[in-house]
Amino acid sequence: MYNVLVAGLTISLDLCYESDFENSYKYKTDLDANYHITSRLVDNIEEPMSNLLYETKYYKKYKVSDHIIQIQYLEGRLIGSIDYYKNDVLINILVHNSVSEYVMSQYALAYILGQNDAIIMHGSSLIYSDLGIIFTAKSGTGKSTHSRLWQKYSDATVLNDDKNILKLEGDKVMLYSSPWSGKHKLDNNISHKLDVIVFLYQNKTNVIRRLKSIEAFKLMLSQIDFPREENMDLWNKITDKLLELPIYHLGCNMEKEAFDVCRNKIIEDIRD
C-alpha cells in the first residue's frame, strides 16, 4: 500500500496487481490519504436484487443502504464489482488479472474526482509553447499517433495519453495527469492550464477548422464522463468553461503535414 498525489488529491492504493501499475510510483507522496482505493480477489459476485440506479453496456449501478454497488463488465463478460462508500472504494476482482483491476480502478478515480470539482476527459494531452492541448476522438482514430507527431517534430511534453483530469480552479480549467494513462503508460506527473481542444477524425488530406460551440458540445459528450445527478452542477460549470476555449476539428493522416497544419492554425489563432 502507498499513497499517490493526483490532481491535488491524496489517494491510498492497495492493489493486487501493483507491479503492473508501476507508473503510479512517480505520483507517490508522504501526505496522509483522504481517499482509499483497495482491491481484492474474489471467487463470486452477488448482484443486488433491487434498487437499480442505472445501467449501461459496461456496468449496472445499485444503491444498497448508503453504498453504491457497481457490477462491472468488460466486452460483455462479468469481471467484478466496485463498492463505493464515502471516501473508500473497494474493487472486487472476479476475473483475476491486472486488466480487470485497471478498468475498475479508473471508475474509482472518476468517483473520487466527482467529489472534488474534477472530471475525466479521454484523449492524449501535451504541453507545447506554454499551451495545454488535448487531442481527443473516439477509440482507434489515432489521437496517440497524432500526439507522437508533436513529440517527434517539436519540443512538446507529454502530459497524459488517455485519462486526463480536468479540474475547475477559479475561472480556468486545469489539466492534470494521472497514472491511468492507457496501454502505452505515457504520462508525466505535471499539470497545466487547458488552453486548446482538438477533435480528430481520419482523413486523406489534412484540414482543420475552428468549431462553433454547439458543434464542439456534441463531440465533447462522448469524450467526458457523463454527469450523475449529484455532480450535474459541476459538470455544467466545467463544460461551459471548456466551450469558451479554442476548439478545433482536425481531419488528418499520420504524416508530418498533419502536425504542421494543426500547429500553424493554433499558433495563428492564439497570436490573433
Listed in sequence order, the residues at least 6 apart from 133 whose beta carbon sits closer than 8 Å to its beta carbon are 125, 126, 127, 195, 196, 197, 198, 266
| Interatomic CA distance for residues 157 and 127, integer angstroms | 5
Strand 35-41 versus strand 9-14 pairing type:
parallel
**Mind listing the domains of the chain with CATH numbers?**
2-116 (no CATH), 120-271 (3.40.50)
Q: What band does 230 get if pLDDT is binned at 50, 70 and 90?
A: low
Angle at 67 between CA 63 and CA 69, to 5 degrees: 60
Residue 226's pLDDT is 65
Sign of CA pseudo-dihedral 68, 73, 76, 78 = negative
**Contact 206/257 with Cβ under 8 angstroms?**
yes
The DSSP line for 170-223 is TTEEEEE--S--TTTT-B-S-EEEEEEEEEEEE-SS-EEEEPPHHHHHHHHTTT
Name which of 126, 132, 192, 134 is nearest 159 in CA terms: 126
SS3 46: coil
- pTM of the model as a whole: 0.91
Query: Mean pLDDT in the chain?
Result: 93
pLDDT tens-place string over residues 21-63? 999 999 999 999 999 999 999 999 999 999 999 899 999 999 9
Residue 144's pLDDT is 92
pLDDT tens-place string over residues 122-172? 999 999 999 999 999 988 888 999 999 999 999 999 999 999 999 989 889
| Interatomic CA distance for residues 10 and 33, integer angstroms | 5
Name which of 61, 63, 64 is nearest 72 in CA terms: 61
Length of the chain: 272
